[in-house]
Structure 1
Amino acid sequence: MHCSISLINVDDPSPVGGGRYNSKLHPIIKLGEWRKGSQWFEMDRDLALEVVSDRTYFPLFQKYYKDAHNADEHYLSTFVSIKFWQRNSNRSLTWVDWSKGGLHPNKYLRPDLTVEFLESLRNNQGKCKYNGKITTNVCYLFARKFFVNSLKRLLMFAPQVIHFEE
């Protein structure tokens, strides 16, 4: 067995997470196994092969979540947490700000972006965890929810934040 680690967030305890569980999934997927994660994920090739080969869990999602627009937030995180927990980091490399609550993350405008803000995304003072253990201070490689008008400012600050010469 290959021991790569995939980065799939399977840990959203909010009502949105468990509130979408369909009892018809039982007994194959029990309520305690139901997960909600992000549609943004990173996985290694071995896990990708397992996902596309799944003939047990995916058909349930096709049947009971046919018209749901949020099955993508549940299938992968539920499948991985049940079958391949030991190969998953239970985190993502994609930073998203949910601090304001609601159904959508915070969006950033051009004036919101500073070198200090971008540095804080990259270096989270040693708070980055893989399966609950702090292992690194480089937390994220990607970030989302920046308005299109912020692109020039992001590109302007990139050399300072990423520490490369122009």
Structure 2
Amino acid sequence: MSMRKFKRGHAEVRGVVDASAEQVWELLTDWAGLLRWWVKPGEGGRPGPDLASVELEGDPHNVPRTRVVRHVTGSVVDETLLVQNDETRRIYYNMVFRPNPGGAVLRSEFENYLATTTVDTLPDGKTLMTFKAEFDIVESADLDLMRSLIERTWTDAILQGFRRYFANAKTS
């Protein structure tokens, strides 16, 4: 029996959001509310397929809870919130890609994705979001490309989405 070989990966990004830590935390932990703030690729979000839907499995206040993220390509990702510490404003979650009958080769190269996000108040009242992930990829995959995909999701979709969401909230 031949075993697949893997490489270890790490990604990390930090960014500032012009909103209070309480507001950012509330939006972050609304696990089913992803589409409220997600920036579509055509609007400057991270490259790749757009999202088709997000469904919540589990009670919206219980841990663990899973959001099932469906892409327009047919690919599906389960993101399970494993830890939500409201005092320290830290979450841990994993991401598991379901087999995609339409392809999505890159997604089949990830294994053991575990991420954390922290939310911290800065002296000026803005919020620092810190994203970190550890993951394994099959040996033949391009580690720099995989790291870039993760980091672009954080910068181009999540941080940009949070920034737009709170900027729009201030002008409404």
Q: Which TM bucket (shorter chain)? A: under 0.3
Which protein has the bigger helix share? 1
TM-score, L = length of structure 2: 0.22
TM-score of the aligned structures, taking structure 1 as reference length = 0.23
More strand by proportion, 1 or 2?
A: 2
Q: Determine which structure has more spread, i.e. the larger CA radius of gyration.
A: 1
